[in-house]
Amino acid sequence: MSGIRTDLTGQVAIVTGSTSGIGAAMAEALAENGAHVVLNGLGDATETEALRARIAADHGVEVRYHGANMLKPDEIADLVNSTVAEFGRLDILMNNAGIQNVAPVDEFPEAKWDAIIGINLSSVFHAAKAALPHMKKAGRGRIVNLASAHGLVASPFKSAYVAAKHGVMGFTKTLALEVAEQGITCNAICPGYVKTPLVENQIADTAKARGISEEEVVRDVMLAAQPTKKFVTYEELAGALLYIVSDAGANMNGSWISVDGGWTAK
Ligand code: NAD
């Protein structure tokens, strides 16, 4: 629960990659504010169904799940089109699905490069392309791309991820210009480090491997780049998302909200 309020009653949102981490939290923040939500992502079917049922019960909205693989354009189109077929509208598309791989360029596996570009960048294009005819017809829509501080600056050994996230920023600006007069906005959110299950699991392991405390891992290893030395929270990201999708966000277009503790100010 984000505890942050805006009125999205009756609206319909798709959040890609929402069976875990940031996507699950953003889907719940939208549901908490009245939107019907379509979850998407890979992972354990029982856990996904439990998440779907809990969000629906806690917030009194319709919650569906669609298993589109973000590497497959036809499945992405079906995610969008089946949502509109069922609910009759699509107000919010949040492109959030993403993966990471860390290796120097000369050792970077080709398959990992292709998967990261496919899931983190190309799926944003495919989902937006499918959503636009519906949003144009309605004369309103919000496309929100979960980019990263790595959409603005680089770190070594993350070439595919940094390239994909910079690509997402370029796509965000281009699409924003194309739809600016049609009631549709396209923006990005650029988080620093967020304590998702994936990150959390690494803390104890890294502490053990380096022989330092978990606090030192967080401060000196993980958050070395993040001036506040604090993880970004789901609530902080929900605040950014809810502003962008609210009526107050109608004139924010082709831009981004950095939620990175000052990382990209350096
Ligand atoms: P996560 O691993 O917890 O969640 C990723 C989601 O994407 C999962 O639901 C997963 O099933 C889904 N996914 C992966 N491959 C998919 C595919 N082929 N098709 C459909 N779904 C797929 O990760 P997270 O940390 O919550 O990351 C979410 C987004 O936030 C990503 O785009 C990531 O790059 C971005 N981000 C994360 C951080 C961070 O510190 N965690 C910081 C900045 C940006």
Express each pLDDT in 23-35 by its tens digit.
Answer: 999 999 999 999 9
Mutual angle of helices 234-245 and 21-32, in 10-degree steps: 50
How many angstroms is it from 249 CA to the middle of ligand 1? Answer: 25
Q: Tell whether ligand 1 has an atom less than 6 A from the beta carbon of residue 37.
A: no
* Full-model pTM: 0.96
132-182, pLDDT tens digit by residue? 999 999 999 999 999 999 999 999 899 999 999 999 999 999 999 999 999
Task: Write the CA distances from 103 to 106, 147, 222, integer angstroms.
Answer: 8, 20, 17
Q: For residue 209, which phi and psi values (nearest 5 degrees)? A: -65, -35
Residue positions annotated with a catalytic role: 161
CATH code for residues 12-192+233-257: 3.40.50.720
Copy the structure tokens of residue 157: 């050994």
How many angstroms is it from 98 CA to the middle of ligand 1? Answer: 4
**Which among 183, 191, 173, 185 is positioned nearest to 232, based on CA atoms?**
191
Where is average pLDDT lowest: 113-117, 160-164, 203-207? 203-207
The ranges of the chain annotated as CATH 3.40.50.720 are 12-192+233-257
> In this structure, which residue's CA is closest to atom 32 in ligand 1?
98
Return the pLDDT at 206: 82
How many angstroms is it from 137 CA to the middle of ligand 1? Answer: 30
Which residue among 168, 196, 234, 264 has the greatest number of ligand 1 atoms within 8 angstroms of its CB, and so is best to mutate? Answer: 196
Three-state secondary-structure class, residue 170: helix
Three-state secondary-structure class, residue 160: helix
Partner residues linked to 141 by β-bridges: 184
Q: Tell whether ligand 1 has an atom less than 6 A from the beta carbon of residue 146.
A: yes
> In this structure, which residue's CA is closest to atom 8 in ligand 1?
17
Three-state secondary-structure class, residue 263: helix
